[in-house]
Chain A
Amino acid sequence: MRKPASAIAVHGILILYTALALFPIILVIMNSFKARKAIFGAPLALPTPSTFSLIGYDKVFGDSSIVSYYLNSITATGGTIFFTLLFGAMAAWALTEYKFRWNTLLTLFLAVGIMVPIRLGSVAIIQLIVELNLINTLTALILVYTAQNLPLSIFILSEFIAQIPKDLREAGRCDGLSEYSIFFYIVLPLIRPAMATVAVFTMIPVWNDLWFPLLLAPTGGKQTITLGIQQFLGQYITDWNAVLSALSTAIIPVLILYVVFSRQLIRGLTSGAVK
């Protein structure tokens, strides 16, 4: 960036693209706080005291199920993260630390799940979930999402576990720890940063997914917020206040989480964890 002219050009392009990326999001949030007339009359204006209105939000939260959809999403996402991290770290530890005959084969077996989308098995997944009597339950979602996210998390965590110095695990053995204690008292605390990265990677797609909620828990009050919003939008398609507010309700928490975790997420992405 020696020449100021080229620096300005680069910043110009980046600012333009950033504006393009943010414009739709800002537009929706901004207009969700306006009365219907202002939405159509001056869509690009910020809400003013005279145009300010929360009528859309009243409708969204008046539909009391939105709150429970949020709780469903939190439960499904939280449960998925918990089991993905716990079982993923356990498997990653065994695959990196222990020698056994099927080690390589098992690793390849797990690698299949990184590349092949689990969605393609949806027909059989539904049959299985019906069979298990888990249709319209969050348990079904947690099980499927955990299966979906385990392979990648195992691979990311394996890389981190392999970086723990061998001396450290052996010091544990000399200190009289069982293999189980070595995992829970030494390995788990040391891979906490890696687990945070995996948690963020897991959280975003699970929270945003529409497919499996649509297939496995479409009714019965167990909808996730993404599906709930989709259904809500379909129902109120002509009520612009309600639509914009519903969209904002879905966007804002994710944006807050993103701003909080963006450093973690980008660091995870740029640390070469996914390759």
Chain B
Amino acid sequence: MSEVKIEKLCKSYGPVEVLKDIDLTVEDGSFVVLVGPSGCGKSTLLRSIAGLEPVNSGNMTIGGKQVNDLPPAQREIAMVFQSYALYPHMDVYNNMAFGLKFAKTPKAEIDARVNEAARILQLEPLLKRRPRELSGGQRQRVAIGRAIVRKPQVFLFDEPLSNLDAALRINTRVEIAKLHKMLKATIMYVTHDQVEAMTLADKIVVMNNGRVEQAGRPLELYYKPNNLFVAGFIGSPAMNFLPAQVKKGGTLALSDGQELKATLPSSCKTGDSVTLGFRPEHMTLGGTGNFALTGTVDIIERLGESGFAHVRLPSGQTIIAEVRGDPRTSSGQSAKLTFNAENLHIFNAEGRRLG
């Protein structure tokens, strides 16, 4: 069992609180991705778990063992750094073997483990090379190999793909997913890239300002975001938000007078101010949804198969809708956007999801 449990974890740099009351469980064998904007505390949380940052209070257990006061090496974790952090003065073999040597692992055992890792990661021909003789992707694999040979309870990845170019990033992402399946390892992974998060994770943890905003399965976050922050953070382009007022009889009135008729959750009261959210990919230009908004097309960004129409409503707000194929609409024309009731998200004045 290599479950990671974090309870009431707090950390501050002087007066600045960077982690506030974090509670999180990472189940054995699961792949958990921490996402959030830069400075949200996701890397600090990962480094605290690794033992690279001291924490102020709270409790951390790895595989049932309390690790709060253990140095990194005794926590049975392995970390893959953003910059890979390969030792420049050692060849690939020694980069992987270095930690084991210090753990007084028998020579034969080291050899076996390094060769096994090299086989898995296709590093066998590179074992005698120095890091500077390797490409970015190869360095990345060595960094992962160095983690594998330690046979840790938990793998910690700190933005491991951000130094790779776009094509290699997609490849490596798939490799990491395969590796997870093969090793059945417990993985915690920090990224700011939500595509990585959506594709890799069993569970996504969205962080903001040192707090966990929501943790859940990727599609749960996508379809049922708990609050405005998560709704806006997950999905690309971001969800459209429009302020509205609840009118008598369950009608939602936008500020420019357009009205939408919806079945509202019981917690909605007449007169409440709410925020409506709908994703660009759930709207169609023209079409027949049960909701419709009209506005003027500002511009259409065409990406090929699909594109994004930026539509200005009479109130002056712009919303983005995905368009498929080649709509015969151009800038300045008026447009009607439709979408279905089940794709409407409603948030109360505090930004919490209603219903």
Name A's interface SS: helix
Check if A186 sits within 8 Å of B87, measured CB to CB. yes
Report how many A-B pairs have Cβ atoms within 8 Å: 56
| Min distance, Cβ B318 to any Cβ of chain A, angstroms | 41
A-B pairs with lowest CB-CB distance, top 9: A175-B99, A176-B73, A167-B85, A171-B85, A167-B81, A189-B89, A173-B72, A176-B102, A167-B83
Q: How many residues of B contact A (CB 8 A)?
A: 26
Partner of A173, one of B71, B82, B87: B71
On whether A174 and B83 interact (CB within 8 A), knowing A189-B89, A190-B88, the answer reads: no
Q: Does B166 contact A (CB under 8 A)?
A: no
Chain A residue contacts of B73, Cβ below 8 A: 173-177
| Min distance, Cβ A234 to any Cβ of chain B, angstroms | 50
Q: Does B311 contact A (CB under 8 A)?
A: no
Indicate the member of A175, A176, A181, A190 with the most B CB atoms within 10 Å.
A175
Interface string of A148-179 (1 = CB under 8 A from B): 00000000000000000101101101111100
Partner of A174, one of B88, B89, B99: B99
Of all chain B residues, which has the CB nearest A169? B85
Q: Does B50 contact A (CB under 8 A)?
A: yes
CA distance A181 to B71 in the complex (A): 14
List which B28-54 residues lie within 8 A (CB) of chain A: 47, 50-52
CA distance A171 to B103 in the complex (A): 14
Check if B52 sits within 8 Å of A173, measured CB to CB. yes
Check if A177 sits within 8 Å of B102, measured CB to CB. yes
| Min distance, Cβ A120 to any Cβ of chain B, angstroms | 41
Q: Does B77 contact A (CB under 8 A)?
A: yes
CA distance A181 to B47 in the complex (A): 21
On whether A174 and B72 interact (CB within 8 A), knowing A167-B85, A189-B89, the answer reads: yes
Check if B103 sits within 8 Å of A176, measured CB to CB. yes
Partner of B102, one of A167, A168, A175, A189: A175
Chain B residue contacts of A181, Cβ below 8 A: 102
On whether A170 and B52 interact (CB within 8 A), knowing A165-B85, A190-B89, the answer reads: yes
| Min distance, Cβ A19 to any Cβ of chain B, angstroms | 43
Check if A174 sits within 8 Å of B79, measured CB to CB. yes
CA distance A33 to B4 in the complex (A): 81
